[in-house]
Chains A and B, each alone.
Chain A
Amino acid sequence: MRGKCGLFHTSYASETRFFQTGFQKLSLGVFLALLLCSPFFLSNYQVSMLNMINIAVIGAVALNLLTGCCGQISLGHGAFIGVGAYTTGLCTLAGWPFFAALLFGGLVTAVVGMLFGIPSLRLKGIYLAIATLAAQLILSYVFLHWESVTGGSIGMGLDAPVILGMSLDNDAKMFYLTFGVAAASVLLVANILRTRHGRAFVAIRDFHQSAESVGVNLFAYKLQAFAVSSFLAGIAGGLWAHYTMYITPEQFDIMLSIQYLAMIIIGGLGSVLGSIFGAVFVTLLPEFLGALAQLAGSFFPNISMYFLALREGIFGLILVLFLIFEPEGLAHRWRLIKAYWKLYPFAH
């Protein structure tokens, strides 16, 4: 590549490489190194925010694979996360090693997700959204009423994850677990999108009849998308359960599903990077608005009260503004910023 102006691909393999330039590798390396060192210089609160972002990244990248890449809208993602949380929790309570429990939680969620994905052969768009909404309602009902297993309204208390005899009982230790799993999930989804499966997903999303006419088995691939997405949702749930150490049905309601949809819309549908941006944005926005309210309150004590009441409205407004002005999400804006600096100062 050196010595040439621009990128010249001579094979598909070269075109689909993650890192096109050495600079990309270097900057990502520096970023990851900084992130790995972050628990040493960030406060406990900031590390806890990173943990939540990591878990949100797994859930968002999972939903983006299903909805953004394969075009299957899901309003049941929150409940799938709940299935993973309860299953992993039950397994660790039964004495399973943490990673075995986490994987089993993912697998059970994958099976449940596939079950609710079956109608996707006949249904699409808003009809499928309603079918997955049914999944959300049914599973919420199960969490609440299957008392002998889930603890019902009382919920389920869990311990911090124990890995190789070490209890991850603080945010800093938990960070390495959530970060590792989030990185693996992102890598998994990014790689799936480079395979024939990923291309089939995108083909189904773009136009299902064309996809079928070139030999894509719609049903099988849609189910695969549901399976992989639900598997990762289950993993996110398992991590959430052991991070909070107490799970109740209220944590996995329809609002969680909507929050994840907001993440992928704000971040960018069909983009792995967008899922990360969306997860960071949606997780940090309430904190940012809260800090803003506090700052405003220190100057105008009465304003903060009104500002707090407006907060939910502001969140909705931001979502609407994104849909109008940035429908391709933060990932698109990131690409434009990169392109601008690549061509700077010769933009035209």
Chain B
Amino acid sequence: MRRGFFTLAAAMILFTSSPGLAQIKIGVLSDLSGPTSDVGRPYADGVRHCVEHLNKQGGIAGQKIELLQVDYAYNVQQAIAAYNRFKGQGIVALQGWGTADTEALVRFVARDEIPTYSASYSAHLTDPKTAPYNFFIAADYTTQARAALQYFHDNWTEDRPIKLGLLYPNHPYGLAPIPGIKAFAQELGFELVGEDNVGLGDMDATSQLLRMQRLAPDYVWVGGTISSTAVILKDAQKIGMKAKFITNIWGSDEQLLKLAGPAVNGHYGLHTSAVYGADVPGMKVIEELTGGRHQNIHYIRGFASMYTMAEAIRVAAEQGKITGPAIRDASRTLRDFDPLGLTPPISFFEEDHRPNMTVYLYQLFEDRMELVAEQELERRPEWLGH
């Protein structure tokens, strides 16, 4: 009995004190319980499942990836605390989340040389002059909107300018792409008929929509998130509005289809990734990982974000060692990298962190999101950061 105990103790000591395999530590800032948790959870699942997949395949350069995840509840202070904890634990890269925290950490990650792949697609995070260690894998918010304008402009058949309306929350996220949209609409010869605010938490948008209806726009850009977009679409249907609504990346997903029901039919959603079940190589991997359970579109982007970061880490490992600056430099060498067909090909450059200029336009129906077009814009230098 006693011998058995000592053998067990010795084995435990050996087991715990053995050096083990080196691990690549990556911090993940997730909102699992805060105001953006409805989309934060699937995104975080995507990141986690991607790491599971990579580790099953032997990790990167023989090293397993270890995720250190913190639920920061969309609170900047908690994000900074979590970041500092990650740093102490020796992370080499960070998977970030929202705009508020990504921006609050821009200087921190630059100072500590920790590459960050976030889910905030604010255009100014693409300018390496101000955000040298920030990356993301989707076209930025302004580029997404510009792509929609370009698509509708190219497919317009009537002999009059397109009338455009704008509905967005009076919130940093809602306001960020507005100047860029206005400028490009003017360039393409759109007629901007009016703009109004619908808050992210508003339960009614009838008065704004009645005002908008009088201006008879052909298209209305909606810059909110799912709940406010559902309110807008349902109220628009109620008052019999004819305009087509264009929702941005956080304004439409499978949840919106349920929330808005028939009111969603025929409107447009801008996205930068495939939907679950699409015929791309990555979907087989995801279906296997999730046991065939349907995952929403944010999950796919979470997966693609981690997959792209892993590729940068792989390149860094190939070239020497896995450090923050090496991963950043490796990210900048990616050229038309294809994350298993889940997003358009991704390239980063030393002076331009825009991953691509491609946006998918989906038409929304209550039972599906149907890919209508893959709109590509030219990579104009003056759009960098705006």
Report yes or no: B175 in contact with A144, Cβ–Cβ below 8 A: yes
Residues in chain A within 8 A of chain B (CB atoms): 43-45, 48-49, 52, 141, 144, 152-155, 157-159, 169, 171, 244-251, 255, 283, 286-287, 290, 293, 305, 308-312
Report yes or no: B77 in contact with A52, Cβ–Cβ below 8 A: yes
Q: Measured between alpha carbons, how far is A311 from B176 in the docked complex, in Å? A: 31
Known A245-B107, A312-B73; contact A48-B84, beta-carbon cutoff 8 A:
yes
Q: Write the nearest CB–CB distance from B174 to chain A, whole angstroms.
A: 8
Q: Which residues of B contact A48 (CB under 8 A)?
A: 80-81, 84
Report yes or no: B81 in contact with A157, Cβ–Cβ below 8 A: no
Report yes or no: B176 in contact with A153, Cβ–Cβ below 8 A: yes
- What 18 additional pairs, Cβ within 8 angstroms, besides A49-B84, A153-B173, A246-B105? A44-B84, A49-B81, A144-B175, A153-B175, A154-B122, A154-B124, A158-B107, A171-B84, A244-B108, A246-B103, A246-B104, A248-B99, A248-B100, A248-B172, A251-B104, A308-B33, A309-B37, A310-B33
Report yes or no: B103 in contact with A45, Cβ–Cβ below 8 A: no
Q: Which residues of B contact A309 (CB under 8 A)?
A: 32-33, 37
Known A286-B73, A309-B33; contact A245-B81, beta-carbon cutoff 8 A:
no
Report yes or no: B81 in contact with A52, Cβ–Cβ below 8 A: yes
Of B32, B34, B37, B76, chain A has the most CB atoms within 10 Å of the CB of: B76
Q: Which residues of A contact B77 (CB under 8 A)?
A: 52, 283
Residues of B in contact with A, size category:
35 or more
Report yes or no: B104 in contact with A248, Cβ–Cβ below 8 A: yes
Report yes or no: A249 in contact with B172, Cβ–Cβ below 8 A: yes
Report yes or no: A286 in contact with B76, Cβ–Cβ below 8 A: no
* 5 pairs of residues in contact across A and B, judged by CB atoms under 8 Å: A44-B87, A52-B80, A152-B172, A154-B176, A244-B107
- In this assembly, does B243 line the interface, its C-beta being within 8 Å of a C-beta of chain A? no
- In this assembly, does B211 line the interface, its C-beta being within 8 Å of a C-beta of chain A? no
Chain A residue nearest to B125 in the complex (CB): A154
Report yes or no: A312 in contact with B33, Cβ–Cβ below 8 A: yes
Q: Measured between alpha carbons, how far is A277 from B354 in the docked complex, in Å? A: 46
- In this assembly, does B54 line the interface, its C-beta being within 8 Å of a C-beta of chain A? no
Q: Measured between alpha carbons, how far is A153 from B33 in the docked complex, in Å? A: 24
Residues in chain B within 8 A of chain A (CB atoms): 32-34, 37, 70-71, 73, 75-78, 80-82, 84-85, 87-88, 99-100, 103-108, 111, 122, 124, 130, 170-173, 175-176
Q: Which residues of A contact B82 (CB under 8 A)?
A: 290
Q: Which residues of B contact A255 (CB under 8 A)?
A: 75
Report yes or no: B170 in contact with A144, Cβ–Cβ below 8 A: yes
Report yes or no: A286 in contact with B100, Cβ–Cβ below 8 A: no
Report yes or no: B88 in contact with A44, Cβ–Cβ below 8 A: yes
Known A152-B175, A308-B32; contact A246-B106, beta-carbon cutoff 8 A:
yes
Q: Measured between alpha carbons, how far is A220 from B107 in the docked complex, in Å? A: 42
Report yes or no: B106 in contact with A157, Cβ–Cβ below 8 A: yes
Q: Which residues of A contact B105 (CB under 8 A)?
A: 246
Report yes or no: B130 in contact with A157, Cβ–Cβ below 8 A: yes
Q: Measured between alpha carbons, how far is A237 from B76 in the docked complex, in Å? A: 14
